[in-house]
Structure 1
Amino acid sequence: MAGRLLILGAGGHGRAVADLAEACGFTVAGFTEPSGRGRDVVGTDDDLGGLAARLSLDGAVIGVGNTALVRRTELFARVRRLGLALPVLRHPSTVVSPSARIGEGTVVFPHAVVGAECVIGMNVVVYSGCVIEHDCRIDDHAYLSPGAILCGEVQVHERAFVGAGAVAVPGVVIGKGATVDALVRVGGSLTAGARLSMTRTIEPGR
């Protein structure tokens, strides 16, 4: 499909989603923000029902970033209740296996790679340069930052966050709501809500 989309969220991630939507052939009808103010902001999230009719919308996309994963989930559910379409946005430069499956509302940014038999859920963010190798499973509302690499058969559960440049070795599980910080190597599975960080010590005078 193509048509007029509303972007829910007018911050940096929302603007990036707008660029992606236009690269996919959509027209951005405007943005929502809780304050109702800002460049090209046409209302608040609570105005969705009225905005859908007034702006002749064909769909909506969640443009709220990684600092509000619970809110992303709530907004997605609200849009679905209104009956608005939540299209997959997949940049033309991506490489996606014909056997991969991608759920509604998911956004796949430039130069991402999605391998054979991967299953990506709904409302997932796959940022620029991510590599998701064969047989990975990414559950709903997860967030993969730029350059994240998931080797084969990795599982990323609902609302988990994987930081920029992180690498997950084959077969690990990143639990529900878990956080992997940037540049971290995930060598073993993470339980729900866990956080994996890279500790760096800088000695005085260096």
Structure 2
Amino acid sequence: MNTTPVASVHGHKCVLVGAGGHAKVVQELALLGGAEILGVCDPKFSTTGEQYWNGLKVLGGDEFLDETSPESVLLLNGIGMMPGNTIREKAYDRFVSMGFRFPALVHPFAWCSPLASIADGVQLMAGVVVQPGATIGKNSIVNTRSSVDHDSRIGAHCHLAPGATVCGDVQLGNSTFVGAGATIVQAVNVAPNQFIKAGSLTRSDIH
């Protein structure tokens, strides 16, 4: 894993993938980092004929990227994640297999310890805290005002919804969704593909 702060998109040409609510947050996050966003792609644009979305030029559906060199742009994953929905994960894997890269994005009002590790495609939103020794797997979202404490390992393709709290030494399996305001206490192990309800308290392992 590598730590790739939001400054890594400064001056880079980027394409936003997806055009929904989460994409609006990612768009602003990338702009705060100085990215040059060329436009947005979403399969729905293949039929709607829209020219602009949220101030961005509509580049079309995913077919635009089929004709784009992976070396020429960075991709911004604007597809959100909900329990049981794998669209974000599949899009990430598909475009990475084509040679594209999704840089990690860290909001300027987030705190990520220099002793933590975040992988490509990770998105740390406003108010997030990631403490020393924590690891965040590829394409995971740590949403607004969530926290990951020391030495916890968040798997790939996870989503910590706004206000979620992950205490120290937690192991969170791949593709797990932690609902808004949920708390996972220290040293708990959570298997992959789990759904932890909003506002819940998890005190024991989930297999």
TM-score (norm 2): 0.85
Q: 1:34 aligns to what?
A: 43
What is the deviation of 1:57? 4.4
Q: 1:66 aligns to what?
A: 81
Aligned partners of 1:169 and 1:185 also within 8 Å: yes
- Give 1 or 2 for the bigger CA radius of gyration: 1
Q: Deviations over 1:103-145 (max 9, x none)?
A: 0011110110001101111000011111100000001100111
What is the deviation of 1:29? 1.7
Q: 1:119 aligns to what?
A: 135
What is the deviation of 1:180? 0.9
Q: What's the secondary structure of 1:135's corresponding residue?
A: coil
What is the deviation of 1:100? 0.5
Q: 1:102 aligns to what?
A: 118
Change (3 A) 1:81 1:56: closer
Aligned partners of 1:29 and 1:57 also within 8 Å: no
The code of the aligned residue for 1:7 comes to L
Q: State, as a whole percentage, how many aligned pairs show the same letter.
A: 30
Q: What's the secondary structure of 2:86's corresponding residue?
A: helix
What is the deviation of 1:45? 2.2
Q: What's the secondary structure of 1:188's corresponding residue?
A: coil
Matches within 5 A, 1:23-172: 23-36=32-45, 37=48, 38=50, 39=53, 40=56, 41-50=58-67, 52-53=68-69, 57-67=72-82, 69-172=85-188
Please identify, of 57-66 and 159-168, the stretch whose mean Cα deviation from structure 2 is larger: 57-66
Is 1:190 paired with 2:199?
no
Aligned partners of 1:124 and 1:142 also within 8 Å: yes
The code of the aligned residue for 1:61 comes to L
Q: 2:3 aligns to what?
A: none
Select the structure with the greater relative contact order (CA < 8 A; seq sep ≥ 6).
Answer: 2
What is the CA–CA distance in structure 1 between the aligned matches of 2:164 and 2:106, rounded to whole Å?
A: 17
Is 1:180 paired with 2:196?
yes
Gaps of 5+ in 1: 192-206
Q: 1:201 aligns to what?
A: none
Please identify, of 64-73 and 114-123, the stretch whose mean Cα deviation from structure 2 is larger: 64-73
Q: Deviations over 1:43-93 (max 9, x none)?
A: 11243122x35x994200211112374111111112212222211100111
Aligned partners of 1:4 and 1:56 also within 8 Å: no
What is the CA–CA distance in structure 1 between the aligned matches of 2:72 and 2:15, rounded to whole Å?
A: 7
1:19 counterpart (19, 28, 45): 28
What is the deviation of 1:17? 0.8
What is the CA–CA distance in structure 2 between the aligned matches of 1:190 and 1:132, rounded to whole Å?
A: 18
Q: What's the secondary structure of 1:66's corresponding residue?
A: coil
Aligned partners of 2:71 and 2:100 also within 8 Å: no
